[in-house]
Structure 1
Amino acid sequence: MEAEINMAELGEKIVEVIKTIYDPEIPVDIYELGLIYDVFINEDQEVKILMTLTSPNCPVAESLPLEVEEKVKTLKEVKDAEVEITFDPPWGQELMSDVAKLELGML
């Protein structure tokens, strides 16, 4: 019988992986920047990540979502990962964590 997957623990692991991905223009990880809006995990351990970019013309608009998908898929508990990009609501500095604001000298 398969071991029961703790969804909260898996969510934390996914966030830890996401925190290793940095915006190329800002020295802060994309989670602390507030680019990740939500992480959904279904009972089949398929992950859907709702994220945004700092702007629709972001130079990594193509590669950043793929990097997120690929890194999340490296977790053995994850069967599949998909990133959906949204600009609703649009990203703004108010979405940044205090850690990100401190790193950028905004606090």
Structure 2
Amino acid sequence: MNVNKEQLNEKIIEKLQSIFDPELPVNIYDLGLIYKIDISDKGYVNITMTLTAPSCPAAQSLPVEVDNKIREVEGVTDVNVMITWTPKWEKSMMSEVAALELGFM
């Protein structure tokens, strides 16, 4: 089974944009918490993400929510969510939409 990676990537991004940081009114994709989305030809998805801080209250729940939501995307056969602290998240990683929403622009 070969998947259309471009279409699958778009669907994954849409799902990620439906997940919100519990402390901020912005989705985790626009917040810049998703560092990398790797999709194999067989639909295996590896997500590399971070959190706003190591002590983030959502440190336990957010990666599980990401995993569960990505599994809902048609064409995804497996998901692996990896948390990294390198590079450290900073405000400059937000999209313009997120920065405007949070009053940083």
Same fold (TM over 0.5): yes
What are structure 2's unaligned runs of at least 5 residues? none
Q: Where does residue 31 of structure 2 map in the other structure?
A: 33
After TM superposition, what 4+ stretches of structure 1 lie above 2 angstroms from structure 2? none
What are structure 1's unaligned runs of at least 5 residues? none
RMSD (Å), alpha carbons: 0.9
Q: Partner letter of residue 100 of structure 1?
A: A
Distance 1:7 1:42 in 2: 8
User: Normalising by the residue count of structure 1, what TM-score does the alignment of the two structures yield?
Assistant: 0.95
Q: Identity rate of aligned residues, in percent?
A: 49
Cα deviation per residue 1:12-50 (whole Å; 9 max; x = unaligned)? 100000000000000000000000000000112110000
- How many residue pairs match? The answer is 105
Distance 1:82 1:49 in 2: 6
Q: Where does residue 92 of structure 1 map in the other structure?
A: 90
Distance 1:81 1:5 in 2: 15
Which structure is larger by alpha-carbon Rg, 1 or 2? 1
Q: Where does residue 61 of structure 2 map in the other structure?
A: 63
Distance 1:58 1:5 in 2: 35
Q: Secondary structure of the equivalent of 1:50? A: strand
User: Normalising by the residue count of structure 2, what TM-score does the alignment of the two structures yield?
Assistant: 0.97
